[in-house]
Amino acid sequence: MQAEKKDIKSLLPEEVSSVLADLGEPAFRAKQVYKWLRGPIGSFEDMKNIPKALRERLGEEYYIYTPRVLRKQVSGLDGTTKYLWELRDGNAVETVIMRYKHGNTVCVSSQVGCRMGCAFCASTIGGKVRNLTASEILDQVMYSERDSGLPISNIVMMGIGEPLDNYDNVLRFLRLVNDPEGMNIGMRHISLSTCGLTDGIDRLGENDLQLTLSVSLHAPDDVTRNKIMPVNRSCGVEKLMDTCRRYFDRTGRRISFEYAMIDGVNDSRAHAQRLAALLRGTGSHVNLIPLNQVEESPLKPSKPENLRAFMAVLEENGINVTVRRKLGPDISASCGQLRRKRELEKSSENVE
């Protein structure tokens, strides 16, 4: 049986060098091949300055895939652009470009689906299908930029999936996107959002990267958090906060906390006071997110007056707080919803 081909675009520069050295090629060839891999090539044949025999030899062992646009939606209100990409095995993931005054930010997915089971999130409904490779994450940045013509200056890993549940590929992606030979996007322009996998946060801390870590807290106590985030049952709020402190001590980077405001679940005055007590003195930032309603879920966004009161309690306690602006409201831009729609359409096609 023929061995399955490997993803050459996910290799790090030193790995490409060693593959080519093993084939008896000089060092400059490795540099040439790597340069092609960071560009928009469709196959090994596109590597014009590489001898045909070597291209064919690489093609026997590796594949090159270019994602295809399945759907594209552009908000008529604010220009938010959303892509659904088809991957090599027919799976699909979403990417969103958000346009801000300071530049364009791309929101990338890290897995096909998610297994974290958060009660309010569309991405987790069908569970996790598989991890994305590093190049599948990188391609979302590169091909969204190329297709839209919008230069990307910032990346948020806040799309479908839990990045720290795909740790090795995500780290590889971060190195590739940061590479001066590639997109050369600085770590300080990258945010990674996690539901709070403490082992992953510790591992990330050891790498001492200058990216911004966002933790999806969504509740200040175990009773509330257990209800909406199953991950909390194996690691409660206290252990999570200890891990966050350790991360800050190692990296010197303040963590930002996300808090989706859900009507009657986590948005009372008492919740706000507990949250303030939890974060007092940490210098952390809280981003309140008005809940995006997911069709399959009974959870509703908080009433505006409750959101305002919640925010006021945090401010009175000296906590740095902002409310996330809703972008692309006309194209249901929150992640997971477009892929979910396609899954539903596919299953109804199968029924007919």
Catalytic residues: 94, 335
Q: What is the per-residue burial (b if ≥16 Cβ within 10 Å, else e) of 270-282?
A: ebbbbbbebbeeb
Q: Which stretch binds ligand SAH (CB under 6 A): 98-106, 138-146, 266-274, 285-293?
A: 285-293
Q: Which of 35, 63, 66 is nearest to 49 (CA)?
A: 35
Is 244 one of the binding residues for ligand SAH (CB under 6 A)? Answer: no
Q: Which stretch binds ligand SAH (CB under 6 A): 79-87, 115-123, 315-323, 338-346?
A: 115-123
- What six digits make up the tokens of 223? 């009773």
Least distance between ligand SAH and beta carbon 164 (Å): 8
DSSP 45-82: GG-TTS-HHHHHHHHHHEE----EEEEEEE-TTT--EE
Measured over all CA atoms, what is the biggest interatomic distance in the chain, rounded to whole angstroms?
69
* Number of residues engaging ligand SAH in binding (CB under 6 A): 16
Pick one of 142, 334, 338, 340: the residue that binds ligand SAH (CB under 6 A): 334
Residues 27-56 that bind ligand SAH (CB under 6 A): none
Contact 249, 290 (CB under 8 A): no
Is 267 one of the binding residues for ligand SAH (CB under 6 A)? Answer: no
Residues 216-235 that bind ligand SAH (CB under 6 A): 216
Is 260 one of the binding residues for ligand SAH (CB under 6 A)? Answer: yes
Q: Which of 156, 131, 129 is nearest to 141 (CA)?
A: 156
In the numeric block, the tokens 């929101």 are attached to: 107
Least distance between ligand SAH and beta carbon 299 (Å): 8
Angstrom CA distances, 334 to 46, 170, 294, stand at 36, 21, 9
Pick one of 112, 125, 137, 294: the residue that binds ligand SAH (CB under 6 A): 294
Least distance between ligand SAH and beta carbon 310 (Å): 15
Pick one of 109, 194, 232, 332: the residue that binds ligand SAH (CB under 6 A): 194
Residues that bind ligand SAH (CB under 6 A): 118, 120-121, 158, 162, 193-195, 216, 258, 260, 289, 291-292, 294, 334
